[in-house]
Each structure stands twice: as C-alpha cells, then as structure tokens.
Amino acid sequence: MQLAQPPLSPEDFRKDVVPVLLDRWLAKCFCKNPGFLKLLAFDFADYKRADRMIAPVELIDSEMLWSTIVAAKFEPQGDWLRDGGGSRRIYRCPQCGLTLATRSEQYSINMWPTTTRPKDDRALAAIGLYLVGYHGFGGKFDPAWILDFRPALSIDQFVDSVTSAI
C-alpha cells in the first residue's frame, strides 16, 4: 500500500494514520509521551494578543487524535459540564489511570474544537508535530503566529512523536 505524504488530507489521516495509532495504543498508552499531550493541548486562544484578532481555529490532527484515543478509549468520569461558553469533561486512561481534562466550545456546526490537558500538569513537548494542519472559521488567522506546532516531515515522524514513550 502506498502511504500518502504530508501534508495529509483528513481522509488520508483516517486511512493511513488512525489504524497505526490504535494498534500502538492497544500495546501501550501514550500518556507518558509529551508529544501526545502537546497535540491534545492545542488551543487557538493561546495565540491571542492585544494587538491582533485571532479567529477560532482547530488543529485537525489534534481533533482526530482526541476522537481516536481519548473519546474512544478513555473512560469518561461523569458527563459534560457547562463551563462558561463551552463544556468540559474528565477522562481517565484505562491503562495507566492518568486523568485528562477536556474543554470544548462550539463555533459552528462543524467546528467544535477541544483542548485537553493532563490533570497532574505533567510536561508537554516544546513542539507539537502535525500532518494535516489547521481549519479556521471566519476572521483572521495566520499559521505563522503559531510557533510551537509545525508540520511533521513524514508519517513515521508524526507517529513516533505521539506514541514513542520516553
């Protein structure tokens, strides 16, 4: 099978990357991997500054990683709770017991980005790698504003950054 090359479409990510992530996760969870945690923690609000407006943006890789691993494999601890304009929920890793806090806010019918952080504040990677990239919704956004996420050079590099426990 010929693998797609970065940047990937969401469809290629689903076809070529998600099955690899699931296989690796079943062998060992990614909770000790700072690259996994970094990707889950993407939040466009981190890039707001007084001198510029930033439109709501999601990192598609983060959303697909969240839905593939956290939403599908982690154990929800209670229901979604309202939190300001959004909602939040706690998830627990069934392998190692790490708890993650997910916050989500809806900006349109097809854009409901999540930001997920470990409850124990363990370290995230300095740089997050992605294969697909950003999806914006109206307003202004420039990927150059985001310095702590960058495209992976290959699918292998991305998978290693998410799954290779240190």
Site string for Zn ion, 66-105 (x = CB under 5 A): ---------------------------x-xx-x-------
Stretch that binds Zn ion, among 28-36, 79-87, 129-137, 148-156 (CB under 5 A): 28-36
Q: Does 40 bind Zn ion (CB under 5 A)?
A: no
x/- letters, 100..129, toward Zn ion (CB under 5 A): ------------------------------
Indicate the helix (H) or strand (E) that contains 162: helix 155-163
Helix (H, G, I), strand (E, B) or coil at 115: strand
* Secondary structure (H, E, C), 33-93: CHHHHHHHCCCHHHHCECCECCCCEEEHHHHHHHHHHHHHHCEEEEEEEEECCEEEEEEEC
Report the nearest approach of Zn ion to the CB of residue 69 (Å). Answer: 10
Q: Give the residues lining the site for Zn ion (CB under 5 A).
A: 29, 31, 93, 95-96, 98
